[in-house]
Structure 1
Amino acid sequence: MIFINQVYQYINKEEKNRIRIIDIDEPIVYYVELHGDTAMPKRFALANLEAEIQGQVLLSIPDPYAKSYSDKDLTSKQIEKRDADWQVVNDYWEVNKHQLLEKKTRENIFIEIADKTNISKLKIKRIFTRFWQRGLNKNALLPDYMHSGGKGKERDLSNSKVGRPRKFNLADDGQQGINFTDEVKKQFAYVIKKYYRQKNQITLAETYDYLLREFYSDKYQENNEVKFNVWDASRVPTYNQFYYWFKKYEDPQLDIVMRKSSKEYDLKHRPILNNSTNETDGPGTRFQIDATIADIYLISSFDRTLIIGRPIVYAVIDVYSRLITGIYVGLEGPSWIGAMMALDNMMINKVEYCSQFGIPIEDGQWPARHLPEIIIADRGEFEGYSVENLINNLNIKIENTSAYRGDLKGIVERQFRTINGKVKRKTPGAIQKEFRERGDRDYRLDATLNLQEFTKVVIHLVLNHNEKIIDKYPLEKGMITSGLTATPINLWNWGIANKKGHLQTITNRSVFRLNVLPKGNARITRAGLKFKNLFYGSEKAMTEQWYVKNKNTSIEIVYDPRDMNQIYIPHVDGRNFDSCYLLSTSEQYKGDTLEEIQFYQEMLQELKAKQVSEQRENAINADVAIEEIVKLAMKEKKKVEQRHINKSEKLKNIRVNRQAEKTINREIEKFDLNPTVPSEKADVIDFGTKEKLNEKPAQTNNSRLFEKLRKKRDEEFERE
């Protein structure tokens, strides 16, 4: 229900957001905004107002002017001013309500009241504005003396206590908080949604402050700064009330999802009601694979003075038994290459592998050399690269976890924490603190182990893990009756003997590597198989005449980006392949990795681009020079054309003219093997007589030559 004198607040507007209902005349409702010193009534459809309240666009709030004043607490000046203004309202409000509410007739009523009361029209507007805004009662017309003050002036104190009221009511005779109503609950729900359930993760106490600012305070300006004056304690909800309501209607899952993310909830807060072991029915059903950056800095194997950074550790673990079935310690990754190396290690003989590092073991200490039925991995490494080959050719299913869901690979993640913990305690150069304090020694300077030595450390940790008792492992009845101790090796062996067989073996390591190497597409050209701008040759391509029959078609190949000397064309069965070798046209990249080749090619493209830019500049300058030459020639031609020589004269004797021009060029172009020229005597000019100055100079050699050519041309013309 909507009542006269109710106050509402729009929750989606920053300014001018509070209104008071001053009259209802169905289907119209009249309201006034609670800002400005001359706010006039506005009309609005009652149905629309109810819809906004129903949609919680408009919330009911406590009346900000609902204060109780006793005349004995007021000064005579306040009472005098209030009563004078009330006389105006009392005489004209009820009598002229309809005219004052309507915009068309309101102005005339104000003029009429001003004439009768001898008060300015503006003052009349302000009286009625204050009456409408502050509660439609007599005390709404009280002047704001309580907000006045003499800033910087000393005050005359009376017996009444001045200053801010006490924070706590020691006598406990005052009301604290307000009654819980549905409207108050809507206000609480609004600020929780708008402020608390956001990514900036403000506290509940800060959210309570926003509640007071939004609904239980008055906005004002001081020194051009917007400030808020919170109402007295008897008119606002307490923090305890707000906290009680929040806890009563709390939705922890929604709070975590909105304040952090759904991934954060799934990873750290979701209920864990199942065990990953229950998802398997024996060794080899599921292997988990993951990578971590080890918390240790290593040194170079070639120069122990060089620090090479932190290594990458990949691990493959059997979900059923917790046995680590494969590892990779190196500098590749986290990437498909690192994962590929771990998968390659997964299916090799571990006795031979450990012997490469001088660690003698028996086959029973690390019996894993198998492929699983399912591999659980991150989307990053296994989304793309060779996954289809694993599925189609080796019958291995791939289950990619969601992004940021390390909990779905909880077993291998937990082992990484264990490994990193031991590395920190046992090895120099390990990261001891996430952030070093001032004066702390840089732990990177303590780096001592190289990559091979750290690999030995990891192997020993793996061997120790495989024989370590697993706490809280859900032992089956058969395990208990057989007296089984829950170590990974015991569980592995018991599962092989008593469970379904899911383990696969591959005797040909090259076949496995063929199916885990990255894939690409090479194009058949007349110059060879083109891949990554490199050209390869193939005996099969030559024998079957691919370069002629299948020109410009693509074929699928596999390659090792660490060595681009060869690429491989896999057969359909995934068990055999044809090798392709690097041709002489690309031999300059022999022995380079793909990264190095791409770097060189990018550098070459940059050089070409730079050269093209310079060529364009030279071409532009050449065009300008040519245009200038043509321009000057055109000027000279125009000078000659002034003689009005007709077309026939221009076109005749071309052969004779050519011969004359050739003779002149020969004179200029001829070789002189004795370039020394004797010095010529200086000409002596006699200024004695005017006649000598007017004499013609002697003919030059060129003049004589032209004269001779002219005679020769005339003779040839006469003979013709």
Structure 2
Amino acid sequence: MIFFNQVYQYIDIEEKNRIRVITIDNPIVYFVDLIGNTSMPKKILLSDIETELQSGLIIPIPDPFSKSYSDKDLTEKQIQKREEDWKIVSEGWIKFKDALLNKKERDTIFEQIAQQHRIAKIKVKRIFTRFWQRGLNKNALLPDYMYSGGKGKERLLSTEYKVGRPRLYSSTEKGINITEDVKKQFKYVVKKYYRKKEQLSLTNTYEYLLREFYSDKYYEGNQLKFKIWDGSRIPTYHQFYYWFKKLEEPKLDFQLRYSQKEFELNHRPILSHSSLETDGPGTRFQIDATIADVYLVSSFDRQLIIGRPIVYGVIDVYSRLITGVYVGLEGPSWVGAMMALDNMVTNKVDFCSKYDITIEEGQWPAHHLPEIIIADRGEFEGYSVESLINNFNIKIENTSPYRGDLKGIIERQFRTINGKIKRKAPGAIQKEYRERGDRDYRLDASLNLEEFTKIIIHLMLHHNQKIINQYPLEKEMIAEQLTASPIHLWNWGITNKKGNLQIVSNQTILRLNLLPKGKARITRAGIKFKGLAYGSEKALNEQWYLKMNNQSIEVVFDPRSMDRIYIPHAGGLSFDTCYLLDTSVQYKGDFLEEIEFYQQLLQETKTQETNKQIESTINADVAIESIIKKAVKQKKETPVHSISKVKKLKNIRANRQAEKLLNREQEKFDLGVEPKPKPAKIVEFTMLETEASSIKKSGSRLMEKLKKKRDEEFGKDK
């Protein structure tokens, strides 16, 4: 509801800022802005301003000019000026109120009042502005002598002068009553400033509260400044903090100040545990990878540092038993995950024996498939896991991005492993201890990949025997005095719970379903895949290259060795092997990344050569066109003989023979050493007419001999 003489503040409209309602004449409300020396009344529909209030666009705030003055505390000059201005305002407001609220008539009234009191019209405007802005009472016209003074000078107040209204409680308490309007102000600044990515502190938010609602704006030169009201007219920080806590929404605050992911990861309520999601061993396995905090050396030369290895782990949620592990340089990727899943179904006695570690079946009994695998989206999303799902009835659950907490068990185990490695292994990362001038810990790397794998195996075996302090034991477990170690929990769960463990009878078929898939094309030159040509006995016997030309088929492949690809059968339980043909034998033994690199390099080389060939073709065409153009020009410049077209065409063979004789004379080999020609002396002489005719006759005889020779040769051809 809108009230007379109430001050309201617009929330997000800076130019409107604060307003005071000076008259309510239903359905019109008149108001003035509290900023400006000549702020005139404006009007708005009562329904519109009530809508703005209900929607939160405006908020009622304490009257910034609400002060209690006693005449005994005022100077004679202040009282005199107040009375003079009050006489002008009271007479004018009572007599001309409707005209002053009317924009068209207002200026005329100001002119009339100015003439009556013999003052400037602008002064009349400022007196009425002060009256409207500061509460429509006599004390609103008091001059602001208390704000007078030079810039940078401290204002001295009299000890007798008291600023602000009397305190409501004791003399030691400050602040105001927290009304519903003040709570709205609290909510507004919390929403606008506190719940933002800038992560302002609550103290900063309180400062913005005072700036927005409990301060006066003024200018020193061109610089805008704020003057906070005295302590008796503002809420204290303790009041603000108290009501912030009462109205607090911790989840919303954290999500808006940080992110939803951060809340879910580190601050959500933990009211359950992972074991409640399982029915026993094998219900759920979690798989994840980590980059170990240690640098390794090459197995060929211990002076060569090869970086940090990738450790993949698979763990049973119910018992916390490690069921699969992979240590290598692949990943984090599908290939690394594939190796961990393959190890998951491998007999661990045989696996450990490869690294000269002797164990019994009971120390690491896991070689099974689970019902559900929980994995990151990175490794499993985008790859063809349908075969794994369809052929082995395994469900794949991908976690949300950046939600490692959803695989909390395996994540915690990785932290434990890295912690032990950092304390013991040479070459381990020691960032917290390294200072300028210290030796680079990477230079201490001594372990190769095989030795590091042995360490990981021992850590896994130790984990399987270790007691889990926070494991929620069931009543039956406590009754049987069960020790909460992964091995005991695994064995107890198999005996007393249902679980869904599966045995893989043929590990080759599992690998077939784990390998990545792709599309190959059948051509006359073989089965084309990744730019390589393959052939198979089945394709040759069934004449695929003729009957299925240009058709696509699905294949599986191991990117670490492209010597073979495999064509799975419809049931997914058998396959045909395809081998590299001689046309692609140069890539034998290479892995996919190498082949793609060579193919890219070849393509770049071809592109460069193609550009050179285009350039050469263009230049050759230009040269040819130049020669042709020159020949055509010379032909046009040659005198035309009166020879018919028939004769020109008839003598082609004879002309060819004559040209051949001349060409032979020029092309013949002379193996003798030609003497160097000496410069000849040029002797000028005058040729007689008889001599010239003689030479002409000699040239004619030569031509006759050539023609005769031509005719003889022509006769032989016939």
Q: TM-score range by the shorter chain?
A: 0.7 to 0.9
**Cα distance between partner residues in 2 of 1:348 and 1:518:** 20
Pick one of 434, 446, 449 that aligns with 1:448: 446
**Cα distance between partner residues in 2 of 1:21 and 1:419:** 70
**Cα distance between partner residues in 2 of 1:143 and 1:634:** 106
> Does the alignment pair 1:604 with 2:602?
yes
Give 1:353 deviation, angstroms: 1.1
Deviation per residue, 1:299-353 (Å, 9 max, x gap):
2222212222221111111122211111111111111111111111111111111
CA contact (8 A) 2:10 2:59 kept: yes
Structure 1 match to 2:124: 124
CA contact (8 A) 2:279 2:499 kept: no
SS in 2 for 1:95: helix
SS in 1 for 2:288: strand
- Deviation larger for 182-191 or 92-101: 92-101
Structure 1 match to 2:192: 194
Give 1:394 deviation, angstroms: 1.4
Deviation per residue, 1:675-709 (Å, 9 max, x gap):
777355365789xxxxx9xxxxx99x99x999999
Deviation per residue, 1:339-377 (Å, 9 max, x gap):
111111111111111111111111211111111122122
Give 1:519 deviation, angstroms: 1.2
**Cα distance between partner residues in 1 of 2:610 and 2:87:** 91
CA contact (8 A) 1:290 1:315 kept: yes
Structure 2 match to 1:405: 403
Q: Structure 2 matches for 1:94-113, cutoff 5 A?
A: 94-113=94-113
Give 1:618 deviation, angstroms: 5.6
Structure 1 residues 30, 411: CA separation in 2 closer, same or farther (over 3 Å shift)? Answer: same
Q: Structure 2 matches for 1:289-300, cutoff 5 A?
A: 289-300=287-298
Q: Structure 2 matches for 1:241-390, cutoff 5 A?
A: 241-390=239-388
SS in 2 for 1:337: helix
Structure 2 match to 1:24: 24
**Cα distance between partner residues in 1 of 2:80 and 2:621:** 95
Structure 1 residues 266, 85: CA separation in 2 closer, same or farther (over 3 Å shift)? Answer: same
Deviation per residue, 1:172-204 (Å, 9 max, x gap):
736622211111111111111222122232211
**Cα distance between partner residues in 1 of 2:699 and 2:179:** 123
**Cα distance between partner residues in 2 of 1:673 and 1:37:** 115
Structure 1 match to 2:517: 519
SS in 2 for 1:359: coil
Structure 2 match to 1:135: 135
Pick one of 583, 586, 597 that aligns with 1:585: 583
**Cα distance between partner residues in 1 of 2:217 and 2:630:** 81
> Does the alignment pair 1:459 with 2:457?
yes
CA contact (8 A) 1:174 1:234 kept: no
- Deviation larger for 628-637 or 83-92: 628-637
Pick one of 657, 667, 672 that aligns with 1:671: 667
The amino acid across from 1:534 in the alignment is L
- Deviation larger for 589-598 or 660-669: 660-669
Q: Structure 2 matches for 1:105-184, cutoff 5 A?
A: 105-151=105-151, 160=158, 173=171, 176-184=174-182
The amino acid across from 2:110 in the alignment is F
- Deviation larger for 299-308 or 217-226: 217-226
**Cα distance between partner residues in 1 of 2:450 and 2:524:** 45
**Cα distance between partner residues in 2 of 1:444 and 1:252:** 44
- Deviation larger for 446-455 or 672-681: 672-681
**Cα distance between partner residues in 1 of 2:567 and 2:400:** 33
**Cα distance between partner residues in 2 of 1:20 and 1:127:** 16
Structure 1 residues 656, 383: CA separation in 2 closer, same or farther (over 3 Å shift)? Answer: same
- Deviation larger for 231-240 or 82-91: 82-91
TM-score for both structures, normalised by structure 2: 0.85
Q: Structure 2 matches for 1:388-427, cutoff 5 A?
A: 388-427=386-425
SS in 1 for 2:264: helix
The amino acid across from 2:281 in the alignment is P
Give 1:112 deviation, angstroms: 3.1
TM-score for both structures, normalised by structure 1: 0.85
Structure 1 residues 665, 425: CA separation in 2 closer, same or farther (over 3 Å shift)? Answer: same
SS in 2 for 1:246: helix
**Cα distance between partner residues in 1 of 2:494 and 2:140:** 88
- Deviation larger for 337-346 or 78-87: 78-87
SS in 2 for 1:93: helix
Q: Structure 2 matches for 1:486-505, cutoff 5 A?
A: 486-500=484-498, 502-505=500-503
CA RMSD, Structure 1 to Structure 2 (Å):
3.9
Give 1:26 deviation, angstroms: 1.3
Structure 1 residues 78, 457: CA separation in 2 closer, same or farther (over 3 Å shift)? Answer: same
Structure 1 residues 612, 105: CA separation in 2 closer, same or farther (over 3 Å shift)? Answer: farther
Structure 1 residues 656, 337: CA separation in 2 closer, same or farther (over 3 Å shift)? Answer: same
**Cα distance between partner residues in 1 of 2:699 and 2:202:** 110
SS in 2 for 1:67: coil
CA contact (8 A) 2:151 2:220 kept: no
Deviation per residue, 1:197-218 (Å, 9 max, x gap):
2223221112112212222223
SS in 2 for 1:536: strand
Q: Structure 2 matches for 1:182-221, cutoff 5 A?
A: 182-221=180-219
Report the number of matched residues. 689
Deviation per residue, 1:391-431 (Å, 9 max, x gap):
11112222222222222222222211221221122222222
The amino acid across from 1:671 in the alignment is E
Q: Structure 2 matches for 1:26-45, cutoff 5 A?
A: 26-45=26-45
Unaligned runs of 5+ in 2: 687-691, 708-718
The amino acid across from 1:479 in the alignment is M
CA contact (8 A) 2:7 2:20 kept: yes
CA contact (8 A) 1:289 1:317 kept: yes
Structure 1 residues 158, 230: CA separation in 2 closer, same or farther (over 3 Å shift)? Answer: closer
**Cα distance between partner residues in 1 of 2:532 and 2:88:** 97
CA contact (8 A) 1:375 1:397 kept: yes
Structure 1 residues 588, 104: CA separation in 2 closer, same or farther (over 3 Å shift)? Answer: farther
**Cα distance between partner residues in 2 of 1:209 and 1:373:** 57
**Cα distance between partner residues in 1 of 2:116 and 2:15:** 37
**Cα distance between partner residues in 2 of 1:263 and 1:409:** 15
Structure 2 match to 1:557: 555
The amino acid across from 2:403 in the alignment is R
**Cα distance between partner residues in 2 of 1:116 and 1:666:** 132
Structure 1 match to 2:469: 471
Structure 1 residues 655, 186: CA separation in 2 closer, same or farther (over 3 Å shift)? Answer: same
